[in-house]
Structure 1
Amino acid sequence: IHLNQVFARQMPVTFELALPGTSTSRKWQQWTIQPLRDQSQQVHEAQGVAVDISERKSAEIALRNALIREKELGELKSRFVSMTSHEFRTPLTTIMSTASFLEMADHKISTDKRLTRLSKIRQAARDMAELLDEVLVFGKAEANRLEFVPEAINLVSFITEIVEDYRAGSHGSHQFVFNHPQQLKPFYGDVKLMRQVLSNLLSNAIKYAPADTTITIDLTHGENQFILSVNDQGIGIPEEDQPLIFEPFHRAHNTREYSGTGLGLAITRRAISRHEGDITFVSQPGQGTRFIVSLPDIERQTSK
């Protein structure tokens, strides 16, 4: 193509050429093709000169990636400020208004009412602590500083304990069913990260599913992997939001009336990635969502 341009225009042509190779080891050349004229100034031949520009292209690509990353960080910062200003306002308002009420009506309310008000303050403080925990974990994930300390985990006991905590915390508002094999080998993973994964999936299921519905947890072991799924009968995820559901701070359009940071699933995916696993989902608006977590059987893989 470039040679045809030289003959058609009878002018030099300069272009860049990427040689075959991987994106990290690819070589680049800058070619200049000059037309060669005969005594009558007609062009019948051309001469090409190539210069290695691999270092320059690597620097350009690195700069472009850095600019893209800087833009992404700027967007994350903007969304973070928006999220924190909104999500922290509610518990702070609860704490301030309740504290003011107790101060003004100190001798006029019964002990039971005072304890109820104090309970609201404690719950608001817990909500703020959970928000801060999510933000801190996400910050570590973004900086690639999520600590990963694998150990043998009895997944059945581990999941049962967490499910029972959520069953008690929900005060019977939802039913929980945990299906699992009678015998299951240990899973080698990070306890803190796995707790984060399961807690995020269960809390979402409770939050977005109506009371008196069932949340089903399934655990199986296939070839070289453990499969964990959490299925709810909730509001589901709109189709237009599904490609973005794991993006930081993204919240589906049908969840605006629910509190949340939009960080839970982003953290969940990063925690699963530290295990070299994967997370997918199936969802229909109004019919619920099923999240499927695939975790590699690391011990089996390394023993081969």
Structure 2
Amino acid sequence: MEIKHIRWIAVVGLIAIVELQYVWLVNTYKLTKESIQMKGEELFPEAALQEVFLRVSKTKKDSTVTMNVNFDAEKDMESMSNPGQWLMSYMHVSFQEIALKDFNRDVSFVDLDSIYAHMLDSIGFPAVVASCIVDSTGRVMRSSSQLDIHGKGVLRTSPLPISHDGTRFLQGVITNPYRVIFRRMTLLLLATVLIMVLVIVCIIYQIRIIVRQDKIAKLREDFSYAMIHDMKTPLSSILMGTQILETGKLDTQPEKKARYFRILKEEGEHLLSLTNKVLTLSKLENHQLKLEKDTCCVRSMLEDLAEKYKAKAVKHIVYKWNLQADTVYADEELLKEALSNLIDNAVKYSGDEVEITFSSGKFSNEYYIKVHDTGFGIPLKDQSKIFEKYERASAADRSRYGGSAGFGLGLNYVLRVAEAHGGRVTLESIEGEYSEFTIYLPNREDAIDKTCLNTNK
């Protein structure tokens, strides 16, 4: 399955999970809202009853309250399905009328709101409440605040009758239901967010693993192809040279015979160098290679490499020198091989003539060695991944200019060697103009005083 299909499947699955979470939260919200509504309905009549008792108790202590219960069987037959509820409602209305008519005390909204809010808070609903008196049509006659009780942002209790003639009703209002709801759902919301974050992280992690596995598979394929391609030519040369030498035809031509032996040796060394490079890279990546650091002469290393590539190159090479630091503290063998890779790239990826400039010096607490060439340069889109292992992204473009596709180990080797020394590598390049690689190595104070024998060029 292609990566893009896996990503689409992951996106669809994530959308489905988000949708399920949304449905779950909406249903939970509705249930919480219904729970608050139900608790408000249950507690408001009790709060109203406590308020009327408190109102009556504020009158003279020697007051006597007389209450008659009038029951009309035909009129109140439907209400008698729940006698207890009917009796409590009747008594509540009677108390309200007695307080108003006999004691001239109407509903105290301040006391009612305080009692109602305290009751809600005691069961875990810290609500802001209001109350009002409405008529049979729902029109507000009096209220404890200027709040629109018919608005969408409030929860209202059912009208509670406070007069036997059905003209006055008491109604409670929760003015901040959403805050109460979300406060009740705090843990649920946090759990949902954590679950969603965890799911998203897991999905992204799984996709990254799949992408990485796909990349590893492609790298394995590229490695096999590149290894075979890079070994085919020297192996063919060795086999062909061996067959010619076995025939004995060159026994009478010692110079030609020596030339064939030299070719066989060079090709064998090339294969050995490639094998050692792969093994060294593996050790560097696994931090298993022990570096043998010492003071290295920069000029002598570069001069040896310059002569080597100038002798075997078929193109014209011009070297320029700007060495301000003669020594660095490093593993000479690994550093020399890294510099060799940079020079090899400069020669490969250039035209019929190339100019290579070597520079060295000290910058801050680091020593640097630069290899600047006037080759084809590296496209900007490839510069961010040019140091990756087996990277041959721009091989096709380079081949058009006569460059070699390469095996894709050289620059990764340079990076690994620099990192093993605690240093770094930087690249500056403009396509079609130049490339400049800089190896930075940490400063070593005790290496500065040491001298290095070198030949001035």
TM-score normalized with structure 1 length: 0.72
Does 2:373 align with 1:227? no
Aligned equivalent of 1:236? 377
Alignment check: 8 A CA contact 2:250 2:256 kept: no
Aligned equivalent of 1:37? 34
Aligned equivalent of 1:191? 332
Does 2:289 align with 1:150? no
Change (3 A) 1:39 1:177: closer
Greater length-normalized contact order (CA 8 Å, ≥ 6 residues apart): 1
Does 2:428 align with 1:282? yes
Aligned equivalent of 2:26? 10
Change (3 A) 1:189 1:169: same
Aligned equivalent of 2:319? 176
Aligned equivalent of 2:282? 139
Tell which structure's C-alpha radius of gyration is larger.
2
- Taking only the aligned residue pairs, the percentage that are identical comes to 24
What CA deviation, in whole Å up to 9, does each residue of 1:143-202 have, x standing for no partner? 333433433334344444444444455599422222122xx4853323233222211111
2:386 pairs with 245, 248, 253, which one?
245
Alignment check: 8 A CA contact 1:280 1:293 kept: yes
Q: Of Structure 1 and Structure 2, which has the larger fraction of its residues in helix?
A: 2
Question: Which segment drifts farther, 242-251 or 142-151?
Answer: 142-151
What SS is found at the alignment partner of 2:321? strand
Change (3 A) 1:171 1:78: closer
Alignment check: 8 A CA contact 1:237 1:254 kept: no
Q: Of Structure 1 and Structure 2, which has the larger fraction of its residues in strand?
A: 1
Alignment check: 8 A CA contact 1:282 1:290 kept: yes
Question: Which segment drifts farther, 201-210 or 96-105?
Answer: 96-105
Structure 2: which amino acid aligns with 1:132?
T
1: CA distance between counterparts of 2:304 and 2:255? 32
Alignment check: 8 A CA contact 2:250 2:257 kept: no
What CA deviation, in whole Å up to 9, does each residue of 1:118-137 have, x standing for no partner? 33222221221122122112
2: CA distance between counterparts of 1:113 and 1:188? 44
Alignment check: 8 A CA contact 1:152 1:189 kept: yes
What SS is found at the alignment partner of 1:246? coil
Aligned runs of 1:63-74 on 2, under 5 Å? 64=206, 70-74=213-217
Structure 2: which amino acid aligns with 1:193?
L
By how many angstroms is 1:39 displaced? 5.8
Structure 2: which amino acid aligns with 1:101?
I
1:269 pairs with 412, 415, 419, which one?
415
Does 2:226 align with 1:83? yes
TM-score normalized with structure 2 length: 0.51
1: CA distance between counterparts of 2:327 and 2:382? 36
1: CA distance between counterparts of 2:329 and 2:258? 44
By how many angstroms is 1:286 displaced? 3.0
Structure 1: which amino acid aligns with 2:35?
D
Structure 2: which amino acid aligns with 1:75?
K
Backbone CA RMSD of aligned residues: 3.8
Change (3 A) 1:237 1:6: closer
2: CA distance between counterparts of 1:66 and 1:144? 23
Alignment check: 8 A CA contact 2:365 2:442 kept: yes
What SS is found at the alignment partner of 1:215? strand
Paired residue total: 273
2: CA distance between counterparts of 1:188 and 1:263? 24
What CA deviation, in whole Å up to 9, does each residue of 1:217-269 have, x standing for no partner? 01121221222211112222233332321111122223345263110001101
